[in-house]
Amino acid sequence: MGKCVHSVDMSSMCKVFAKLKENAMKKRALAAFLFAKPGGMRCIFLLSLGLCLALPGSVWAGASQSLESLAENGGLIVTRNGVTIYEHNADSQFMPASVQKIGTALAAIKILGKEYRFSTRLYLSGDRDLYIRGLADPLLISEEVAQIVTVLRGRGISALRNIHVDDSGCQLENPTDGASNTLNPYDAQNSCLAVNFNTINLIKAADGSVRSGEEQTPALPLMRELAQGLPPGSHRINATATGNQSLRYVGELFAAMCKKQGITVSGTIIPGPVPEGLKPVYEHISSKTLDEVLTKLLKYSNNFTANQIFLAMGAKQYGWPATWDKGQRAMTAFYRNELGLSEKDIVVREGSGLSRQNRVTPRAMLAILEAFKPHAGLLPFENRCLRKSGTMTGVYGYAGYFAGERGLDSFVLLLNQPKNTRDQVLELLGALHEAKGRRKN
């Protein structure tokens, strides 16, 4: 607020923004008053959204010209009261990066339902072998594993031989499209059976000793192996980068949790499917609903979580095992049947936005946002706007909502260019949005 947006003939706008800073302080004082009143939170929400910049109609043309210079290779749309008030390259396809997660969330709500809960099945053979079969739960974290072991202990299980880890619920012919083979957590591969987002949090001391970086997660042999070559300090790393240690990680975590709760494990960790005819001894239902999973997804933008949901949607529509193809078909059919979008509007290769083969037009993204309005509260509230960002090399975007007098007004900005100008573009889109309201009033 109050600083120059861009150096392209913007001196007059800077004077406007300085005045807006003074007005914004008055609005914040009003917000403090509303906070203390019944129903005031809703008023503050709408008021805060309204602080996204205002611009008088006298500089409308200048703002539009500046937007086109800032979006050298990009597409933009902003609406007011359900009407598009500005657009640029609205029917051209662009890579969306993580902005795509809004569409993934919308499809998941429709296909799976907001109360959907992921599950993991446990089997016990006659010779005390434990079998763990995953069904793409994105939040099978250490706390959930501890709950599972507590249930097993409560059912009288005090000793186990081998632990078998079964990821056959997913048949993934290729790695996650767009992911690289690095230690970075955002490159973690997907699997029907994975713990802690397929990432490991560890601390390496100066003397080379390694311990877990999380109180809830025991130290594991895998941590010591993956820490080799890392400098001293705290690290969160991708467990699938070196030979895909996903299933070993699951087995070691379950074994450590068993030991912690007094269940002995005398054998080894064995990857492989559950024997036919063996009945589950326990099916663990996640403590988190899909609604809660989506809230975290849209806040933290976890690629692994998005694609676990993507795979589950495909399995729900076309049956297990889950595959990338089934996820693509489920999403494509949803967009076609629910929103009337075709492949000239949107192309989906995976659910996170990580693939550089994903494409969407701003107009298609607008249709997604309009359908997402009942669930807009799932989006992060940042810089006085509800929005989701998307970032990759040469890809910068925002999509979300400003506040209008009749409710939420959608906006889309997708930039596929070397220079990241999305914050300046967002300021100007907000300014045009407010200017349109001032003209009307």
Q: Tens of pLDDT along 260-313?
A: 999 999 999 999 999 999 999 999 999 999 999 999 999 999 999 999 999 999
Looking at residue 82, what is its pLDDT?
Answer: 93
Tell me the per-residue pLDDT of 210-264, one tens digit each, with 9 for 90 and over. Answer: 999 999 999 999 999 999 999 999 999 999 988 889 999 999 999 999 999 999 9
Residue 33's pLDDT band (cuts 50, 70, 90)? very low
List the single range of 93-97, 172-176, 205-209, 307-311 with lowest mean pLDDT. 172-176
The answer to whether the beta carbons of residues 1 and 20 sit under 8 Å apart is: yes
Q: What's the one-letter identity of residue 50? A: G
264: helix, strand or coil: strand
Name the phi and psi angles at 383, rounded to 5: 50, 40
Which residues on neighbouring strands pair with residue 211, listed in sequence order? 203
* Rounded Cα gap, residues 140 and 145, in angstroms: 7
- Percent of the chain with pLDDT strictly greater than 90: 79
Residue 191's pLDDT band (cuts 50, 70, 90)? very high
Looking at residue 438, what is its pLDDT?
Answer: 63
| For range 49-71, the mean pLDDT | 65
Task: Decide if pLDDT at 36 tops 50.
Answer: no
pTM passes above 0.85: yes
| For range 12-26, the mean pLDDT | 39
> Domains in the chain and their CATH numbers?
53-112+295-440 (3.40.710.10), 119-288 (3.50.80.20)
Q: What's the one-letter identity of residue 407? A: G
